[in-house]
Structure 1
């Protein structure tokens, strides 16, 4: 009689659901799955730390819209990986964290690495649970895939007890779920909701549409641009923890303060919008809120709520675009808002570093020129202060940032996933020296798998975001404990088998970027920079 282990069911179900790559770190509890995956076409990327697995899965989910899958072992392997779920949750990224787990038959008896893993992951996920039987493994995976993508996308966790993975059952008794079992339900907007939104927009003098992180992928940004062109009104995507001070949005705070109707499409009313309070928004600014999550509809002040409704934001964008041609266009307001969003201080053109250190603006000029020559490239921004400058200054096709959580450290794993998703196209990650330390060992992963990307490390030998807090809050005589060494991170990467270059003059950086790209290796360009605050963009007057 032919049999299948629980691990075989897991592997075959993942393949049937369309998984082609898993980001993983091995461990006792998941070795049956490693073995079972040998019989599938699924590729593994074997990393050096579990959080990196989840960050890679997060980037994969954001870039493809597919569920990014991370596979880690139980115990601390799970807790290491679960820590990165916070970033994916805030970014609304479809991720599945699969963790090995102590055997069900041993729970409560002091099992090896026994933890309440689902309870640990639950606050950082849309759903988290532990498989309860071999028969449930396939349906559990299909359910997890559906939840990760349905409504507001986000991470899901499933723990896999090792005794279930090792148990064999008759193959004839197993039905492997197909993609239909994980199909999502799309919440289309009711016709009355679309009509009410259009009426509210028609009645406003200075409306603004803000879209949430899930719409900040390539297709979402294209849909936003189409709606803006059709309506003749400003439409922005918000995915930064800097919120109204997001440097990618220029003088956005100025636009928001003048808005008289703020339409939130899948965008939570939260700290990034200063909770809708004055002076960030005018006291009489009205709200229109459309969201797949009923709890978020209730955040807007009831006395200022013009429209609210449950729906997924993408079909709302499409419905508004299809029916918006009859609306009056607010051309003057649109021009005013676009000028503010595009504004960058002219004085930046004259910023230069001193004493063998570049100003971040000089670093960004070189990266911008490089990506202009490589329009299929990907920009990744990470770090507290240095990561904000390229968001303001580097143009280009697709972009990944750390996201609303504000967590730093994901850029090297992000870069690996981005390079795998678009082979042959350059990936440039701009990050700080503090950030580099979180996952520098993943350069070993990139070397082993021959995954080229370029990490441009802005090295000011400091935890600069926290240093800037000390300066602002406590004064220069109390700036303590945030210094680092001016470490040669480029030679660290060379020791791991990658390309490294040190840059201390702006004129050196363009050639270093081209040499890094030509090397075909994972690369680190260690750029010594001045320690300056991130930009907060305001127009004079």
Structure 2
């Protein structure tokens, strides 16, 4: 038996932390890690590109509320992962990036794939370090895990040169137990709770919005109880979709803009006032209460009246205890229902259209017939996914995933791999734009090799519609430069990789095709022709980016 090395120590600490999977693309600088991890029972999922591996680690963390781990080799392996790490950074995903590097003893000598990787990752991680002493490898891996999962979570970067990984480690070091998770639940200040409660108790037209940290903090039940006691309309974004049932009497989907314009108190829980919320440029007279795990973004873009930071379940419970129950807000709800119904009626016309090619909403009407509460839907596209976010109901917490605030296309296959690993009893459906499918479509090979039967439904409008439509609307039909694609038969590519594929043109063909795809037991692709002119005439360049 070969002597234990520091690569095995890395795997041992991951095992102690409860890591079940790591995502990688093989490389000589990191082989000691993934070889040892496999021996210790950690499943190694090897992708076709390091960006996809990083997205998969991000997706695993989001779906399981636990640490995601990606292992990438030196030089181009590390640079390939940058986009995936950046996407996780802006989504506050707890992720550990383990990167190989050239030998310490060959530093600054022009070694293979030698470069300053640390400086590349510092702007897109919470914490970035390089280990040069083998006997400190376990200590550094444990510290990285604590950094990724404490406070405001996020990706961290740990660089491990190959000569450090190959250094022998004694059995005593391998058996050492490390302190891995330091965070303890914390409550908000009592004064802040009372001020917020006073504002809500005097509110006539309050509104509440929940964001992704509701999901991360498992706080949706406390959130619903607070909203019910206050009798306030609820809106959701990001990973919070599904945290309130679509049929809940307080839940609304289409009237957020109108509600925020007229509200006298706005409560934002678990998300910043970034572009998705118009940078807080809603009713300037409204009182603003911010509630989140940390106060990192409090005061960004707009002054707030009260900020409550702490464990979301605890904070929401304390606030619920302090507010008075309200039985009825008839006038306020009538106003919001009217705005909701107006938008719904406009969308319903498109969802019932018989015109061919199908418009985006007509295709989604068929998707709605197919999904159930054990279907995880992953949005990876521009206009098609923006439309889906408006009409596709999310029936359970965790059943919706999208890129997040960075708006990175290409996450779909990787997120789907991770979701299927996390919840093998669920159907995993990617809603793909044809442009975004091309970014990481080769990950269907990964899905097939690892026996993960995910399915992509492509809304194929032969172009980058979200960019093409405003270009053409502003400058005319000839201005579709750099936005047109061919009507490519992507399903045949999936078939060539060993999966299942179908081409669809009519609404009545969609559900049967999806049923067949999911029944095959392999990864599949249903490629659907949709009308490229559905959303023509719209000139809002930010359309769809606020999902």
Same fold (TM over 0.5): yes
Tell me the secondary structure at the aligned position of residue 268 of structure 2.
strand
1:314 to partner: Cα distance: 3.8
Q: Does 1:299 align with 2:338?
A: no
Conserved 8 A contact 1:63-1:217: no
Work out which of the residue numbers 253, 269, 288 in structure 1 matches 2:273: 269
Alignment correspondent of 1:394: 392
Tell me the secondary structure at the aligned position of residue 228 of structure 1.
helix
Bigger shift: residues 52-61 or 472-481: 472-481
Q: Does 1:70 align with 2:70?
A: yes
Q: Does 1:197 align with 2:196?
A: yes
1:348 to partner: Cα distance: 3.2
Alignment correspondent of 1:333: 332
Conserved 8 A contact 2:38-2:44: no
Alignment correspondent of 2:247: none
Q: 1:115 to 1:283 in 2, by over 3 A?
A: same
Conserved 8 A contact 1:462-1:482: yes
1:2 to partner: Cα distance: 10
1:438 to partner: Cα distance: 0.8
1:223-238 → structure 2 map (5 Å cutoff): 223-238=222-237
Deviations 1:93-141 (A, max 9, x none): 2221111122222222222212222221122222222223223222222
Q: Does 1:282 align with 2:283?
A: yes
Conserved 8 A contact 2:457-2:528: yes
Alignment correspondent of 1:243: none
Q: 1:466 to 1:74 in 2, by over 3 A?
A: same
The 2-side partners of 1:2 and 1:520 are apart by 40
Q: Does 1:487 align with 2:466?
A: no
Conserved 8 A contact 1:91-1:214: no
Tell me the secondary structure at the aligned position of residue 187 of structure 1.
coil
1:120-135 → structure 2 map (5 Å cutoff): 120-135=120-135
Alignment correspondent of 1:513: 514
The 2-side partners of 1:65 and 1:237 are apart by 18
Bigger shift: residues 230-239 or 524-533: 230-239
Tell me the secondary structure at the aligned position of residue 71 of structure 2.
strand
1:83 to partner: Cα distance: 1.2
Conserved 8 A contact 1:412-1:442: yes
1:407-426 → structure 2 map (5 Å cutoff): 407-426=408-427
Work out which of the residue numbers 532, 535, 546 in structure 2 matches 1:533: 535
Alignment correspondent of 2:405: 404
Tell me the secondary structure at the aligned position of residue 219 of structure 1.
coil
1:342 to partner: Cα distance: 6.9
Conserved 8 A contact 1:409-1:439: yes
Alignment correspondent of 2:248: none
Tell me the secondary structure at the aligned position of residue 112 of structure 1.
coil
Work out which of the residue numbers 376, 379, 403 in structure 1 matches 2:377: 379
Alignment correspondent of 2:140: 140
Deviations 1:290-349 (A, max 9, x none): 3444442232545xx321244343432232234435568645435544664576432433
The 2-side partners of 1:127 and 1:293 are apart by 17
The 2-side partners of 1:314 and 1:482 are apart by 45
Tell me the secondary structure at the aligned position of residue 39 of structure 2.
coil
Tell me the secondary structure at the aligned position of residue 96 of structure 1.
strand
Q: Does 1:368 align with 2:372?
A: no
Tell me the secondary structure at the aligned position of residue 440 of structure 2.
coil
Q: Does 1:33 align with 2:37?
A: no
1:524 to partner: Cα distance: 0.2
Count of residues paired in the alignment: 522
Q: 1:328 to 1:506 in 2, by over 3 A?
A: closer
When normalised by structure 2's length, the TM-score is: 0.89
1:17 to partner: Cα distance: 0.5
Where in structure 1 are there 5+ consecutive unaligned residues? Answer: 241-247
Conserved 8 A contact 1:216-1:239: no
1:505 to partner: Cα distance: 0.8
1:90-109 → structure 2 map (5 Å cutoff): 90-109=90-109
Tell me the secondary structure at the aligned position of residue 53 of structure 2.
helix
Q: 1:270 to 1:356 in 2, by over 3 A?
A: closer
Work out which of the residue numbers 252, 257, 263 in structure 2 matches 1:253: 257
The 2-side partners of 1:287 and 1:118 are apart by 39
Deviations 1:24-65 (A, max 9, x none): 111111011122123301111111011111111111111111
Alignment correspondent of 1:349: 348
1:452 to partner: Cα distance: 0.5
